[in-house]
Copies of this chain bind each other. A is one copy, B any other.
């Protein structure tokens, strides 16, 4: 058994090699650059944790974990193009440092190399693992499409948003755990429980993300607090505020969004507070956490085996940064 932090360290070390051929350098060097920007490697670690919940880490789990991290980075490289994002972790994105064609093709190659890692695993669970991996990969693309669609729409409901977040964020966390669990020899029922744990945890994580973007402590948060508000991003907070605000508050909110005054962030936050959006978000997060933990409870293994997953939940959902 390993703690969450031990697994983070272990995976980060193993992952910090080049995953690509040398040539053509203009294709693969940008891939190495992007992977070198780092990150917590949460998803591959969740794969290892999903495995260790049920048994010793299977050597194939490292291949699957690597495939997951490469897939995740493929989505980031392509999303950065679509979002025209100049920076990632404070450094230039691939399409900014190189160009869009390079970012497009490097992302493609990264996805293919992810599948090459996945193909290294033994035959026993191959069909099942490929099925879950590809379904999830497709769902993440679907989530990105809904996200882009929603930017153009004014009638997005909270339910629509949750469906989008599930696809864009939650399913990969859920699948990472389940892919590990499959290698750990989990029963089908336990695979469902660990998937549902991850899916609900993912939604709680996104609620916290949206919450911190509005109400976070700028000292701790690192990113620019109020960024979502400035960009009129449809978040848990905004969508809920639009649903519960009085007609006057709603009109004021829509006016602030349309007119972008200099004090927009402060005034939107005033309305959010007046509507108790902050208290509501904390309760919503807790309700998804409770659902997640209930699924974890239902898995009949020694409770010591669950400890790293509880540490992970706390890391993801209690964080202030």
- A146, B24: Cα distance in complex, Å: 7
Is A283 located at the chain interface by the 8 A CB criterion? Answer: no
A interface residues, tally (CB under 8 Å): 37
- Asked whether any CB of chain B lies closer than 8 Å to the CB of A231, the reply is no
**Of all chain B residues, which has the CB nearest A71?**
B112
Chain B hits for A123, CB < 8 A: 123, 126-127
Interchain nearest-CB distance for A108 vs B (Å): 5
Q: Which B residues touch A100, using CB under 8 A?
A: 81
Copies of this polypeptide in the complex: 2
Q: How far is the CB of A77 from chain B (nearest CB, A)?
A: 10
Tell me how far the C-beta of A175 lies from the nearest C-beta in chain B, rounded to whole angstroms. Answer: 13
Provided the pairs A108-B78, A145-B27 are in contact, do residues A113 and B101 lie with their beta carbons within 8 angstroms? no
Contact (Cβ within 8 A) B141 A27: yes
Looking at the assembled complex, report how far the CB atom of A270 sits from the nearest CB atom of chain B, in whole angstroms.
35
CB-contacts of A152-172 with B (<8 A): none
Interface residues of A in 105-160 (CB under 8 A from B): 105, 107-109, 111-113, 115-116, 119, 123, 126-127, 130-131, 134-135, 137-138, 141-142, 144-146, 148-149
> For A37, what are the chain B residues with a Cβ–Cβ distance below 8 Å?
none
Q: Is A104 an interface residue (CB 8 A)?
A: yes
Instruction: List the B side residues contacting A108 at CB < 8 Å.
Output: 78, 107-108, 111, 141
Q: With A24-B145, A27-B145, A142-B27 given, is the CB distance from A116 to B134 under 8 Å? A: yes
A282 vs chain B, min Cβ distance (A): 31
A27 to B115: give the CA distance in the assembly, Å.
Answer: 22
In whole angstroms, what is the CA distance A170 to B113 when docked? Answer: 20
11 contacts between A and B (CB under 8 A): A24-B142, A24-B145, A81-B100, A82-B105, A101-B148, A108-B141, A109-B138, A111-B112, A115-B130, A116-B134, A123-B127
Which 8 pairs from chain A and chain B are nearest by CB? A27-B145, A82-B101, A119-B130, A24-B145, A109-B141, A112-B137, A116-B134, A112-B138
